[in-house]
Every structure is written in C-alpha cells, then in structure tokens.
C-alpha cells in the first residue's frame, strides 16, 4: 500500500474512533479535561516518574522512567522492555520495581515516587499484603 494511503487510512480510523467516543457519551456529556503539571520535589529530594505499557498478545511490556532533582534537572532516564505475561496493572507494578532498582543503582535515598496507575499507587500505600503478581512486584519494590 502506498505510504500516502496508509497515512489517510490512519486518519480515517482515528476520526472514526474519536466519533464513536463522542457519540456513545452524547454531545451534552463532555468528559472533563484535567491538566496536571509536574511539581518539583522538596529540597534535597528527587522525584521519580514511571510509566509502563503491556503488549498482552506479545507477552511483553515497555517501561519508561525519569528522575529529576528538586531543581527540576534530569538526573537519569531509563527505557526498558521485558517479557511479562500480565495485564497493564502488572506492567505498571513491574515498572515500579525496575524504577526503584534504578534509584538504588543511582545511590538515591530521598525519592518521591509518582506513577499514573491508581491501582499500583494504592498497593504501594497499602499496609496489607496482596498476593497477586502486581501485589508481589510492588512489595518487592
């Protein structure tokens, strides 16, 4: 297929997907847009942001990590792919584990962890044990 046709097809599919989302909610029910800005950690602390994605059919996950100091300067970044059969929440939990190991390797002690998976953050803050794959990964982290 010609590259221009591939690009046109991608635009058509994106437009159809976008229309299906708005038509299922109706025009009167717009989803609120929440814009969050990155905030610096406290003085002499570091902030670690991590994210992960699962390619469930392939049994692989992708992980991204960035660490910044209290002035917002980048201290380190990490990008990794790993074999893992699991859901997106398991991928996020594994990403947290990889991120914490990365911080240890950098010699960082005062680190604020920030991720976008509510389930994983809740597991991290929880005092109970969760014996699921994600729960065990968070416990290891």
Read off the pLDDT of each residue in 51-74 and give the average, rounded to a whole number.
92
With cut-offs at 50, 70 and 90, classify the pLDDT of residue 23: very low
Judge whether residue 68 has pLDDT over 60.
yes
pLDDT of residue 24: 46
> How far apart (Å, rounded) are the C-alpha atoms in residues 63 and 48?
13
Tens of pLDDT along 32-53? 777 778 888 999 999 999 999 9
Question: Which CATH number is associated with domain 46-140?
Answer: 3.30.420.10
Higher pLDDT, residue 18 or 139: 139
CA 14 to chain centre: 23
> How far apart (Å, rounded) are the C-alpha atoms in residues 69 and 17?
39
Q: Looking at the whole model, is its pTM more than 0.85?
A: no
Tens of pLDDT along 114-129? 988 888 888 888 888 8
Higher pLDDT, residue 90 or 14: 90
Sequence spans of domains, the chain: 46-140
């Amino acid at each position: 297929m010609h590259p221009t046709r591939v690009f046109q097809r991608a635009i058509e599919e994106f437009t159809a997907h976008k229309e299906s989302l708005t038509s299922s909610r109706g025009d009167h029910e717009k989803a609120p847009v929440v814009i969050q800005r990155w905030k610096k950690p406290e003085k002499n602390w570091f902030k670690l942001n991590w994210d992960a994605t699962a390619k469930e059919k392939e049994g692989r996950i992708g992980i991204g990590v960035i660490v910044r100091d209290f002035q917002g300067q980048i201290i380190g970044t990490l990008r990794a792919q790993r074999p893992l059969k699991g859901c997106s929440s398991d991928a996020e939990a594994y990403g947290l584990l990889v991120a914490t190991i990365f911080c240890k390797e950098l010699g960082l002690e005062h680190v604020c962890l920030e991720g976008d998976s509510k389930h994983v953050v809740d597991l991290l803050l929880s005092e109970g044990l969760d014996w699921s794959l994600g729960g065990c990964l968070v416990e290891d982290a």
